[in-house]
């Protein structure tokens, strides 16, 4: 695992960044899926006007060509597959990172801090949810986390 020797503070920052990155990738995948679905459902056609050439200096005119953009469609499908694979890779890294963080949290001597860190960073709860579970105020929870991260 690539995170084994890092500090818990660093790992928690990586965890938040990795979660945000995964969310962004999921949104991009959904947008691309919608685009491909739209192309599949409707009579998605593109048009272009092309020149028929010249005879001497005189133009032979222009013709409008209309059709389904297969190369563009195939590129979108390939891009979607790559994004899905990339997302799966990031999700795997997230699971590995969570395991490392859990191991590091277990080494914290203060039970209260250990519990709060676990709820916040492993379970991903918001301060309000931790407050409801533990009975500590949001201010106290933030104070304990901040104090721990400064050390």
pLDDT tens-digit series, residues 95-150: 999 999 998 889 889 999 999 999 998 888 999 999 999 999 999 999 988 888 77
Measured CA to CA, the distance from residue 101 to residue 107 in angstroms comes to 10
In this predicted structure, the answer to whether residue 48 has a pLDDT above a threshold of 90 is no
Mean pLDDT of all residues in 2-30: 89
Asked if pLDDT for residue 1 goes beyond 60, the answer is no
Res. 151 pLDDT band, cuts 50 70 90: low
The per-residue pLDDT for range 60-106, each reduced to its tens digit, is 788 787 777 888 889 999 999 999 999 999 999 999 999 999 988 89
Is pTM, for the whole model, over 0.75?
no
């Amino acid at each position: 695992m690539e995170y084994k020797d890092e500090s818990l503070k660093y790992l928690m920052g990586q965890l938040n960044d990795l979660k945000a990155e995964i969310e962004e990738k999921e949104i991009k995948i959904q947008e691309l899926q919608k685009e491909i679905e739209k192309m599949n459902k409707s009579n998605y056609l593109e048009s272009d006007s092309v020149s028929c050439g010249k005879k001497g200096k005189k133009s032979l005119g222009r013709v409008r060509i209309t059709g389904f953009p297969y190369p563009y469609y195939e590129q979108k499908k390939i891009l979607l597959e790559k994004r899905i694979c990339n997302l799966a890779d990031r999700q795997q890294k997230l699971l590995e990172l969570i395991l490392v963080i859990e191991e590091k949290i277990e080494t914290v001597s203060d039970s209260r801090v250990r519990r709060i860190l676990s709820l916040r960073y492993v379970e991903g709860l918001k301060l309000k949810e931790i407050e409801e579970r533990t009975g500590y105020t949001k201010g106290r929870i933030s104070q304990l986390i901040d104090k721990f991260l400064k050390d």
